[in-house]
Chain A
Amino acid sequence: MIRSSVVAGMDKVSGFGLKAFSQDELDLIHCASMDLLWHTGIYVESEKAVNILHGSGASVERRGDRTIVKIPPFLIEDCIRSAPSHIVLHGRDPRQDYTLEPMHFGFTLFGENTKVNDLLSGENRSCKKKDLEDAIRVADALDQIVIVTKCMGAQDKPSATQALHNFEAMVSNTGKHVAIGPFSAVNCRKIVEMGAACIGGIDEFQKRPFITFVVCPSSPLTLVNQCTEVIIESARLGIGICSIPMPLCGATSTCTLAGTLVSQNAEVLSSLVLTQLVAKGTPFIYGSCATIMDMKLGNAALGAPEYGLLSVGATRLAQYYKIPNWCGSGVSDSKLPDAQSAYEFAMNTTMSALAGGNIIFSCGSLESGLTFDFAKLIMDAEHAERLKIAVGGIDVTHEEIALNVLKEVGPGGEFLTHNHTLENMGRLSQSNLFDRTNREAWLEHTGGKDLTERAYETAKYLLEHHKPMELPIGAAEAMRGIIKEREAEIEIEDNR
């Protein structure tokens, strides 16, 4: 055997990644966003938010009934620095804690769908609280889903308390971190109260806040009341914020992708500034959900390649700012979990994963984000597992090249029975639901069923057998009580 010595200072890349944007290009997008926020400004509905921004150095212009807030670059850059670059998203179950760090990627559900393909009848109908419970329970069973997102709303509940019902449905069915849109300040407080009941009190909750509140700035360049109200309340409560603007290229942003990135960036940064001004150091996640409008149809096209491209762009910007990111991607425009939905998910999430999307906001969603489908969730999770292998890349070291094994086997030999194969074979990818067998074995094992059918069966199996982490004793009753109390309050307010 030839002796090989230590390698001196060899350049390594770990894993495979995506090359997108030079430093100069990122600087250009940043400067354009600063220009936009300072010279054009944003429309802020809430007087409370206007006052906070004004008091910290933003300039305020009244135009009729509209208030435009212009944010100076120094303020934005200060806030970017004060936002944490490393966030732990705690789960109710400590084993489910998920850390947001540069280039690490994981998956979550897409939210919010308004309809569901019924698991039993296949009927496409509006969703109920029970559907959200089921979806979260299945997501809890899937390792690839790192945190859960409110993928559907409890539409069978009154709108004023729907967010509380949503939270109850979610927290009862998972030990993972919960991302949810609360819609109002009072809901923020109630959800925190409910959360505290589920983890053994407010002190414990503050140590391990297992909730992130999701807000959506409106495009172009608008912070509506609901959005700023939640930001202010949640920063005060010490709960992290994820800000996801949803600009549509050609409709609510420019028809060019770079222009869309700039306005989306300005929208995210404006919400970041407000978060940091209310409470410096509040965890903030840079979200993106920008895509194009199909100009022929007038619809948002979420299966379009541009959705993937814009997500990669936003992810790069978040990494440039050293802020954890939330990466919209992988939703399909198809109405069924069919080949179109698989192609669209595979292309856009592969781009997002290679770009290092911390939380890829994608699984289980069809019809441009309107319909939740259980088979799609199962199939998406399987693809997510494969992406781990693909992004893991090929390690080039002496051990991995295994030159001595190679020489030992030599021309015309085989490696199947070599010790080296036995020692390392566990590291090759395996398929779970995807089929790799030959035709005869496939017929025997599946009876010739296609992937979608097998995925529905898996979802039914998980719903029947998976037991999520139980709530502490009394938590369910406490949550019921909080919701009842709130419902009573609303009744009084309404009667007044």
Chain B
Amino acid sequence: MIRNLFAGKVQLEGLSMNIFTEDDLDQIHCATLEVLERTGLFIGSKEAREILDGGGAVVDEKAKTVKFPPYLVEDSIRSAPSKVLLAGRNPKNDIVLESKRVGFTNFGEAVFVIDPYTGERRETTKKDVEESARLIDYLDQLDVYIKAAGSSDAPMETANLHNAEAWMPNTSKHGFMGGTNGYITKKIFEIAATIVGGKDKLRERPILSTVTCPISPLQLGEDTCEIIMESARAGIMVNVLSMAMAGGSSPVTLAGTLVIHNAEVLGGLVLNQLTSKGAPFMYGSSTTAMDLRFASAAVGCPECAMINAAVARWRVTISCRAGLQAGRLIPK
């Protein structure tokens, strides 16, 4: 039997979710622009307010709020790269973030650990940071590392330096970690530069990215601003990961929560791009619903899955946090 070629057969590769029309996304985008333009964000850092002022945003120095004209937001969306290489210390662990490619990482950061030897639940130590990094290094299914635990046995001010010292030698995968503040972030970059052989080498093949969280609703604290700016200057990707809680720090209706979330992340993006145009930026999400009966963040709830599927619909790049959260690189 002869079977000839198909003429332009339309094929779907893989299974994916069918959520939101272009119109739905436009509506969320427009609502976000309206919030950014009319309500604005609280920006905790003076330096950040100056950068935003210089870039065309409207600053109220007394209230420390900044309003963003829509063109500024959309320019920043366009200038952020839609494809980023996350280098591993070992190049075989390099991973490319683009379009709808899905990846996994562990969750971070936990403050307790169930001791694998005794079964006891206790506070995490620097040794746990080392050991968890080594375990994650072994697991093929996890594409990148994110600081799974913190060194609660180190002084709080320098804990992140201890964390950096602990995880970097223990995985050759790309790592994500918080930066405490601008000063510590710079020091972390120095540690990383020492490992890869200089600042230029680090810029060329950044083995780490930073993570920072806006405070919902609609606030970028001083440390968050500093981490965003320092990362942009060093050419290190920053993951601005909003953690709104529907019913607590954002509207109880999920579409409204998405708008709050989006406004916070895009505010961070504008600051990032005005500090250094073209700096790599990641759209993070750890938003969920609050269980109003227990006043706890329910991260196992279906809303969490939906919100993160929705966020990823802006275009999934890497699904951060095994099974729970999906982040993306840049909304386009």
Contacts and interface: CB of A to CB of B under 8 A. Distances in A.
Contact of A414 (B12, B248, B303): B248
A70 B302 CA distance: 48
Interface residues of B, number: 61
Contact of A437 (B27, B256, B260, B294): B294
A22 B27 contact: no
B289 interface: yes
B42 to A, nearest CB: 4
Interface in B33-62: 34-35, 38-42
Contacts of B40: 411
A203 interface: no
Given A401-B28, A411-B39, A19 B18 contact: yes
A436 B298 contact: yes
Contacts of B306: 16, 389-390, 392-394
Contacts of B170: none
A405 B301 contact: no
A25 B11 contact: yes
B246 interface: yes
Nearest to B303: A429
Given A396-B27, A430-B293, A412 B217 contact: yes
Given A10-B27, A354-B17, A402-B253, A434 B300 contact: yes
A386 B302 contact: yes
Contacts of B278: none
Nearest to A21: B12
Q: Taking each of A7, A396, A436, which has the highest tally of chain B beta carbons within 10 Å of its own beta carbon?
A: A396
A388 to B, nearest CB: 8
B292 A428 contact: yes
B9 interface: yes
Interface string A146-166: 000000000000000000000
B17 A403 contact: no
Contacts of A24: 6, 9-11
Interface residues of A, number: 62
A149 to B, nearest CB: 25
B296 interface: yes
A403 to B, nearest CB: 5
Nearest to B263: A406
B291 interface: yes
Contacts of B19: 13, 16-17, 393-394
25 contacts: A11-B24, A13-B19, A16-B18, A25-B10, A25-B12, A354-B17, A401-B256, A406-B39, A406-B260, A411-B39, A412-B42, A412-B218, A415-B251, A416-B247, A416-B290, A418-B251, A425-B247, A425-B292, A427-B253, A428-B290, A428-B291, A429-B303, A430-B293, A431-B298, A438-B294
Given A393-B306, A406-B256, 10 more contacts: A2-B34, A18-B17, A19-B18, A309-B15, A411-B40, A416-B290, A428-B247, A428-B292, A429-B303, A431-B301
